[in-house]
């Protein structure tokens, strides 16, 4: 699963991604009656469906999710 808290890229690409997320949230989140948010699910759906060929993750971009690698300094982003 990708973490939507660790994201970056060219402005054009990020705006395209955000536009896809807005469409999903405008359609589905507004009618969500469950206690669950759709943020991570929507982000992962958009990332894997529309951006799979443009995703870069893992070394050197980010540490492992819940890897608790707080001492690592050889990554661009560290998960909390």
pLDDT in tens, 10-54: 999 999 999 999 999 898 888 888 887 788 889 999 999 999 999
Tokens of 23: 């469409």
77 has a pLDDT exceeding 90: no
pLDDT of residue 30: 82
Which of 59, 60, 62, 56 has its CA nearest to residue 10?
56
pLDDT level of residue 55 (50, 70, 90 thresholds):
confident
5 has a pLDDT exceeding 80: no
pLDDT of residue 72: 85
């Amino acid at each position: 699963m990708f973490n939507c808290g660790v994201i970056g890229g060219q402005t054009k690409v990020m705006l395209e991604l955000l536009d896809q997320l807005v469409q999903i949230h405008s359609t589905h989140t507004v009618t969500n009656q469950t206690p669950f948010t759709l943020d991570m699910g929507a982000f992962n759906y958009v990332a894997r469906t529309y951006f799979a060929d443009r995703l870069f993750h893992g070394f050197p971009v980010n540490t492992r999710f819940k890897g608790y690698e707080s001492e690592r300094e050889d990554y661009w982003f560290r998960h909390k």
